[in-house]
């Protein structure tokens, strides 16, 4: 694309570039007809795909009318030096992007709540019209000189259920820092919940100044979105209330159904969490928190500072994340402070809470949401209403009043019981107790005998049960009906089935990650069919190339049938933060093979690094060692439940994504495991393994590829 600064597109003079993107650049322009400064978005390519994208974005933006959506003034195309420039004209906002502000410092929680509500209302607006934005991020939120915010950039927006987040070549559409984990599933459609995940990332970024997942490259970030829980926002923003943190974490749930159902619901929950006053447990009069602030029944009207800065250890136990939606539906948990000069409303008088307009637009509650008067009182509501915005004289429910007056009611009853007409006859004085007789010698033997008899009665059936199994079942499995009945009630079996189901779900959810990682051209590849390549592979009787087969690694079983292993390495190529893919075929043997990576090889041939090992039955083991010849440390070990091919002469593709301390492992594009380990952070060579247990082993490797 040619440099357009100082050029003119139709009536728009392009003065200077103010933003760069992957698909388009944005210029400060001047509209010569209306004599105003505008922003001109110019697309970088002039091919057919770019033309369709330009037309789609212009059409979508022209149909939308919302106070927090950036409007469109004009659209068109103009030929410049033989290059067809497609452009959109929008208002010029002097405040820049939200991302620029967040790079300087995070926002106060109250300011983040305002932006969340405004952008959230715009997001709900487009969702109601069947449009998914698909690129929610701080650089797509624009600010004017008065601090008002606007959602922009509908370049990859689509109708609901229109397309997946992946292109036909496997590349991701959008920004992975804000992308929901389910969008990495193959053929998964983007929907409103995936936009809400991006909004949750934006909220995290607004209050902390950083996104929840950061890594050296996009593939590593994708792996974190799928496999890691987000860090605590309070780690980076100590002034954030615990309840507000729970709202952020709920918006970042891995499962879409556990997130908020709308952006307005999320904004309401976050605003209410900021207004919530932590309630201390009853303490003696004059008791103080650890911050030496005296506990009072009513804070100053119109302030939220005390609710934000209360120490976490002085606050009562918060409800779980999954209960927030229920509490939200029952009505506000606490009353916000009234404006200065207005008396705080008493909770039991049915007054509506004061709501200050924060923007030109008023936001009505969701349809069907009960008000405080309609909502049934629950223990959670009563808990949340204590101590914030209440008058000095507390009003207790009738049950609490009776409980508090229990001592006064009990005293007359005690006097009544001691009246003459109800008084019981006075008992005679007890006679002196004679001294105890000395125990009989036979009594001790009798007690010991009884104890032994009881022990035998309990121990013998228990021993038979442990030895022979559950009564009514057969050890050899012939009693099929009984065995089935027992297994269906076995908690261990249920947990195993649940774990397998979760593993299958996670494997399906991460299939697109490795496909994306291997969709580009490899930085290094070797078919491993001959020794004539530029790589320096070992060549010996145990490490040999066979044309049309691959690189054979062989090892004989150990002395007296003990296990033995052999590694064959490459000596000239160093790899660190890369994706490795290689085909493995277990031609013979019962021990399997695997890939050493980030290997540091000593002068005597020992390996230090990581090993991803898989047996012929699909059992895998990931280990680390400073010297594999003397032993290793297992990092993770389990059975591959799906995706692994068993049988003689069957190939499996082993895949490893290594980025910094994050290591992810796949087989045949199916996720196996992910872990974090810093034992070997540096780059190293690659080596292949053959392991023999009771049989000699021959493992064949081919089609090695390494991707950045």
Q: Mind listing the pLDDT tens digit for each residue in 619-669? A: 999 999 999 988 899 999 999 988 899 877 889 999 999 988 889 999 998
| Distance between CA atoms of residues 79 and 427, nearest Å | 116
Provide the b/e sequence for 32-54 (b: ≥16 CB within 10 Å).
Answer: eeeeeebbbbbbebbeeebeebb
> 108 and 71: one domain?
no
In a domain, 382, yes or no: no
Torsion-angle region of residue 134: left (phi > 0), alpha (psi -120 to 50) or beta?
A: left
Q: Is there a single domain that holds both residue 79 and residue 135?
A: no
* pLDDT number for residue 241: 95
Whether 365 is in a domain gets the answer no
Are both 85 and 119 inside the same structural domain?
Answer: no
pLDDT value for 490: 55
* Domain region containing 71: 8-91
Cα–Cα distance measured from residue 263 to residue 261, given in angstroms and rounded to the nearest whole number: 7
Q: Tell me the range of 37-41, 332-336, 413-417 where mean pLDDT is highest.
A: 37-41
3-state secondary structure 196-259: HHHHHHHHHHHHHCCCCCCCCCHHHHHHHHHHCCCCCHHHCCCCCCHHHHHHHHHHCCCCHHHC
Together in a domain, 130 and 82: no
301-340 pLDDT, tens digit each: 333 333 333 333 433 333 333 333 333 333 333 333 444 4
The answer to whether the annotation marks 246 as part of a ligand binding site is no
Active site residue 135: yes
Number of domains in the chain: 3
Q: What share of the chain is helix, strand, coil (3-state, %, to 5)?
A: 30, 25, 45
Residue 542 and residue 691 in one domain: yes
> Which residue in 31, 118, 135, 330 is the catalytic one?
135
Q: Last residue of a domain, which of 261, 284, 315? A: 261
**Does residue 567 sit in the same domain as residue 655?**
yes
Most confident of 384-398, 404-418, 574-588: 574-588
Please, which residues bridge with residue 595 across strands?
612, 688
Per-residue pLDDT tens over the stretch 485-522: 333 445 556 555 555 555 555 555 556 677 777 877 88
Lowest mean pLDDT among 89-98, 463-472, 642-651: 463-472
Confidence at residue 497, expressed as pLDDT on a 0 to 100 scale: 59
Q: What percent of the chain has pLDDT over 90?
A: 38
Residue 395 pLDDT grade (very low, low, confident, very high; cuts 50, 70, 90) = very low
249-294 per-position pLDDT tens digit = 999 999 999 999 999 999 999 999 998 755 444 443 433 333 333 3
Query: Averaged over 69-86, what is the pLDDT?
Result: 89
Looking at residue 296, its pLDDT comes to: 34
Rounded to 10 degrees, the C-alpha dihedral 268/274/277/281 comes to 100
**Strand (E) or helix (H) holding 511:** helix 511-517
pLDDT at residue 367, rounded to an integer = 40
Give the C-alpha distances (Å, rounded to integers) separating 183 from 48, 654, 672. 26, 24, 19
Q: How far is residue 595's CA from residue 576's CA, in Å, rounded to a whole number?
A: 14
- 51-69 pLDDT, tens per residue? 887 888 888 888 899 999 9
Tell me: do 62 and 142 sit in the same domain: no
Could you read off the pLDDT of 147-157 as tens digits, one per residue?
899 999 877 77
Q: Which residue has the higher pLDDT, 530 or 477?
A: 530
Last residue of a domain, one of 39, 57, 91: 91
* CATH for 677: 2.60.120.560
- The reply to whether 311 falls in a domain is no
Mean of pLDDT values over 98-105: 93
Claim to verify: residue 83 and residue 138 sit in the same structural domain: no
pLDDT band at 577 (very low <50, low <70, confident <90, very high): confident
- 44: domain CATH number is 3.30.200.20
Q: Say if 422 falls within a structural domain.
A: no
Residue 325 lies in a domain: no
Residue-level pLDDT at 568: 93
* Phi/psi-derived region of residue 562, left when phi > 0, alpha when psi is between -120 and 50, beta in every other case: beta
Question: Distance of alpha carbon 553 from its chain centroid, rounded?
Answer: 40
Average pLDDT, the chain: 73
Examine residue 344 and state whether it is found in any structural domain, yes or no. Answer: no
**pLDDT-based confidence at residue 160 (cuts at 50, 70, 90):** low
Residue 374's pLDDT is 40
Polymer length of the chain:
708
Radius of gyration over every alpha carbon of the chain, rounded to an integer in angstroms: 35
Tell me whether residue 257 is in a domain. Answer: yes
270 in any annotated domain? no
Q: Model-level pTM?
A: 0.47
- 390 band by pLDDT with thresholds 50, 70 and 90: very low
Domain final residue, candidates 199, 229, 261:
261
Q: Are residues 55 and 149 in the same domain?
A: no
Check whether residue 164 and residue 61 sit in a common domain: no
Q: Is 198 or 47 the better-scoring residue by pLDDT?
A: 198
User: Are 199 and 226 within one domain?
Assistant: yes
Residues 111 and 133 in one domain: yes
pLDDT at 83: 82
């Amino acid at each position: 694309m040619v440099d357009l600064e100082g050029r003119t597109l139709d009536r728009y003079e392009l003065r200077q570039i103010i933003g760069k993107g992957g698909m388009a650049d944005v210029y400060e322009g001047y509209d010569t007809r209306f004599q105003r400064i505008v922003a001109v978005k110019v697309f970088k390519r002039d091919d057919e795909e770019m033309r369709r994208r330009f037309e789609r974005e212009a059409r979508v933006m022209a149909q939308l009318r919302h106070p927090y959506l950036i409007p469109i003034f004009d659209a068109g195309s103009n030929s410049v030096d033989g290059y067809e420039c497609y452009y959109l004209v929008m208002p010029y906002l002097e405040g820049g992007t939200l991302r620029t502000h967040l790079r300087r410092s995070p926002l106060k929680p109250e300011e983040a709540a305002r932006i969340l509500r405004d952008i959230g209302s715009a997001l709900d607006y487009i969702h109601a019209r069947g449009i998914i934005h698909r690129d929610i991020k701080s650089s797509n939120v624009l600010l004017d000189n008065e601090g008002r915010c606007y959602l922009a950039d509908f370049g990859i927006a689509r109708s609901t259920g229109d397309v997946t987040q992946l292109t036909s070549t496997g590349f991701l559409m959008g920004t992975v820092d804000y992308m929901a984990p389910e969008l990495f599933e193959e053929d998964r459609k983007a929907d409103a919940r995936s936009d809400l995940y991006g909004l949750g990332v934006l909220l995290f970024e607004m209050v902390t100044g950083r996104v929840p997942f950061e890594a050296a490259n996009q593939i590593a970030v994708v792996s974190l979105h799928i496999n890691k829980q987000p860090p605590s926002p309070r780690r980076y923003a100590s002034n954030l209330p615990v309840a507000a943190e729970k709202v952020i974490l709920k918006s970042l749930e891995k499962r879409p159904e556990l997130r908020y159902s709308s952006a307005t619901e999320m904004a309401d929950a976050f605003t209410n969490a900021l207004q919530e006053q932590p309630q201390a447990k009853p303490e003696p009069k004059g008791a103080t928190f650890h911050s030496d602030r005296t506990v009072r029944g009513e804070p100053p009207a119109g302030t939220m500072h005390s609710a934000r800065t209360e120490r976490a250890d002085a606050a009562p136990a918060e409800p779980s994340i999954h209960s927030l939606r229920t509490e939200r539906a029952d009505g506000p948990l606490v009353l916000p402070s009234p404006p200065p000069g207005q008396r705080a409303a008493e909770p039991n008088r049915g007054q509506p809470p004061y709501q200050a307009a924060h923007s030109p637009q008023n936001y009505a509650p969701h349809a069907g949401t009960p008000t405080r008067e309609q909502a049934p009182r629950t223990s959670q509501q009563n808990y949340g209403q204590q101590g914030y915005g209440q008058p000095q004289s507390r009003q207790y429910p009738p049950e609490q009043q009776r409980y508090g007056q229990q001592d006064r009611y009990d005293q007359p009853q005690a006097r009544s019981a001691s009246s003459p007409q109800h008084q019981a006859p006075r008992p005679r004085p007890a006679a002196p107790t004679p001294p105890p007789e000395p125990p009989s010698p036979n009594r001790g033997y009798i007690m010991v005998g009884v104890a032994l008899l009881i022990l035998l009665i309990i121990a013998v059936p228990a021993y038979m049960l442990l030895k022979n199994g559950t009564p009514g079942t057969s050890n050899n499995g012939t009693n099929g009906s009984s065995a089935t009945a027992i297994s269906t009630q076995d908690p261990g079996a249920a947990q195993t089935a649940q774990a397998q189901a979760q593993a299958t779900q996670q494997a399906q959810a991460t299939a697109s990650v490795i496909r994306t990682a291997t969709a580009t051209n490899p930085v290094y590849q070797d078919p491993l069919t001959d020794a004539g390549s530029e790589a320096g592979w070992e060549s010996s009787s145990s490490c040999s190339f066979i044309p049309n087969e691959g690189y054979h690694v062989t090892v004989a079983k150990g002395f007296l049938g003990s296990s033995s292993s052999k590694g064959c390495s490459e000596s000239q190529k160093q790899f660190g933060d890369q994706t490795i893919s290689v085909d493995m075929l277990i031609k013979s043997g019962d021990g399997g093979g695997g890939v050493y990576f980030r290997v540091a090889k000593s002068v005597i041939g020992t390996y230090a690094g990581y090993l991803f090992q898989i047996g012929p039955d699909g059992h895998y083991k990931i280990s680390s060692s400073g010297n594999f010849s003397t032993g290793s440390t297992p990092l993770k070990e389990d059975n591959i439940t799906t995706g692994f091919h068993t049988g003689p002469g069957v190939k499996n593709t082993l895949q490893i994504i290594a980025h910094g301390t994050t290591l992810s492992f796949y087989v045949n594009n199916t996720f196996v495991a992910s872990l974090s380990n810093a034992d070997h952070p540096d780059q190293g060579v690659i080596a292949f393994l053959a392991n023999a247990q009771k049989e000699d082993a021959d493992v064949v490797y081919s089609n090695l590829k390494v991707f950045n």
